Structure 1
Amino acid sequence: MGIRHRIVLVLLSAILLGAAGGSAAVAAPAIDLDHPVGGRVTRGFAPPGERWGAGHRGVDLSAAAGEPVRASADGVISFRGTIAGRGVVAITHQPATRLRTTYEPVEAVVSAGQRVRRGQVIGRVQAVVDRHDGLHWGLIEGETYLDPLSHSRGAPAPVRPNQVRLLPAGATPRPVETDGAAWAEEAVVTPVPVGLPWLARGSTRPADGPVTSGFGMRLHPVLHVWKLHDGVDIGAPCGAPARSALAGTVLVAERHVAYGNRVIVDHGGTRTGYAHLAAVNVAVGQRVEAGQQVGLVGTTGWSTGCHLHVMAWREQTLVDPSWLVTPQ
Structure 2
Amino acid sequence: MKLLVTGGAGFIGSAVVRLAIARGHEVVNVDALTYAACLDNVVEAADSPLYSFEQVDIRDHAELDRVFARHKPDAVMHLAAESHVDRSIDGPAEFIETNIIGTFNMLEAARKLWVESGTPDAFRFHHISTDEVFGSLPADPGVQFTEDTPYDPRSPYSASKASSDHLVRAWHETYGLPVLLTNCSNNYGPYHFPEKLIPVIIINALAGKPLPVYGDGSNIRDWLFVEDHADALLLVIEKGEVGRSYNIGGENECTNLELVHTICAIIDRRRPKPRGSYADQITHVIDRPGHDARYAIDPNRIRKELGWRPSVTVEAGLVRTVDWYLENEAWWRKLLERHGVGERLGVRV
Shorter-chain TM-score category?
under 0.3
Larger of the two Rg values belongs to structure = 1
What TM-score do you get using the length of structure 2 for normalisation?
0.24
Structure with higher strand content: 1
